[in-house]
Amino acid sequence: MGRSLKAEVKVTIQGKILNPNREKRHKLNVVLEKYRKAVKFFASFKIRDKTLLQEKAYKEARMRFGLSSTLTQTARDKAVELVKENEGREFHVHRVSIRVNYRAFKLVKRDTKLTPYWLYLQLDGEGAWYPVQFGKRQEEMIEDALVEDEWSLQQVELVKRGGEWYAYFTLEKPFKGYKPQTAIGIDLGKRNLATVVALVNDKPVKGTFFRSSKIKEVRHKYFNIRKKLQEKRRLDVVRRLRGKERRIVNHELHVISKKIVEYAKQFPSPVIVMERLTGIRENFERGKKLNRRFHSLPFRKLQSMIEYKAKLEDINVIYINPKNTSRTCHRCGHVTRADRREYRCPKCGMIYNRDLNASINIARALTRGTGRGSVNGPKGR
C-alpha cells in the first residue's frame, strides 16, 4: 500500500446544554422551526450540488426564513446531504438539527460553579451564552481542543431530544502522515459480531473473533420482559428498561471496539477496512425468531465506535464495497455460496472458517485495489 490516506481526523463530542432560561429556550425553538423549513425548501429543488443550489435558492431562502447567512448556508448543505442519502425517495425533516459552523460559535472555559464550559451562539442578530456539560471522556477531548493547537472546533450540531438540548461538537486534526502498511479486515456477522484479521506481507495473521452471544442474550432477555410488561400496559417501565438495555449493549460495544483498535495497534501503520453495510439486513431472511435476533445486532453502532476510537489513535478507517466478500475463496479467488460455518472452495479444495475468510477478503479489497472504497462511514448517528 503506497498511497497516503485522508488528511484529517474528525470526531464528534456530545455535550448537554444545561437548563437554558425561557428566553434562550424560546430562541432555540424558533430558530429550529425556521431552520427545518429552510432545509425543506432547499431540498424541494432536489439538487445535489451545493454551488448550483446556492445560485437557485439562496437569496429566496434568506428572504423567506430570516436566518443568518451562516445558518442559511448550513441549511443548504443539510438539504444536499438529505437529497443524496435518500436518492429521490421522500423524507421528513422533523429530525433535522441546527448546524452552526465555526464562524457563528465559540466554546470557552470559565471559572463557574455550574459548569466550566460555555458555548456562545450567534443564531440571530444577538448572540447568547449557553452552559454545556460533558462526560469525563468528552471533557478530556474538549480540553485538548481548547488547550492544544492540534485539534480545532469546526462545527456544532444543536439537537433537541426529549425536550432537552444537546450540542455535538465536531473536532478535527491532521493525521500524522504515515503511509498505511497493514490492512486490518473486519467482517461483521450474526454469530461472530466481529471477525478481525491483519494482512502482513499479504498473509493473514492473528485472526480474532468477538462473539455476539452476550448482546443477543441481553436483547432476547429484555424483549421477553417488554412483551410481558406491554401486555400489562406498563409502558412507563418499558421506557426505563429500554434505557438500561441500551446502556448494557453500548458498554459491550465499547469493550469490543476498544479491543479491536488495540489489536490494530500491534501492527506497523495499520488501516482498518470494513464493509459498507448497505443491504446487510435485507439479505438475511431465516424465519421470524432468527430475523429478530439478527436485526437486533447493532452493526452500524459498532462500526461508528471502532471508527471513533481508531481516529483518536491516528488510525484511518476505509469502507469498501461488500460484494462477494463472504463468497470468494481468499486463496484462489473462486466465487461460490457459503452455507455453513466453514467455507469450502470447490475449485482449490480450501476449507476455512467462513467469517475469517470474509475478513481476509475485506482486507485484500484495499491492498489489491479490488474495492478501493471510501472513507465515508455508516450513515446516521
Q: CA 240, CA 346: separation in Å to the nearest integer? A: 52
Q: Is residue 149 pLDDT above 70, yes or no?
A: no
Please give the distance of CA 197 from its chain centroid, rounded to a whole number. Answer: 22
**pTM for the full model?**
0.63
pLDDT value at residue 2: 44
Residue 349: C-alpha distances to residues 4, 45, 270, 331, 373 (Å): 37, 55, 31, 10, 30
Q: What domains, with CATH codes, occur in the chain?
A: 8-173 (no CATH), 182-212+251-367 (3.30.420.140)
State the chain's mean pLDDT as an integer. 84
Strand partners for 210: 194
Q: Which of 66-75, 136-145, 199-208, 360-369 has the highest mean pLDDT?
A: 66-75
pLDDT band at 58 (very low <50, low <70, confident <90, very high): very high
Note the pLDDT tens digit of each residue in 118-148.
999 999 878 999 999 999 888 888 887 777 6
Note the pLDDT tens digit of each residue in 221-266.
777 776 766 666 666 655 666 677 788 888 999 999 999 999 999 9
Count how many Cα atoms sit within 13 Å of the Cα of residue 349 in the half-sphere of its side chain. Answer: 0
Phi and psi at residue 339, to the nearest 5°: -95, -20
Indicate the residue type of 335.
V
Q: Is residue 295 pLDDT above 60, yes or no?
A: no
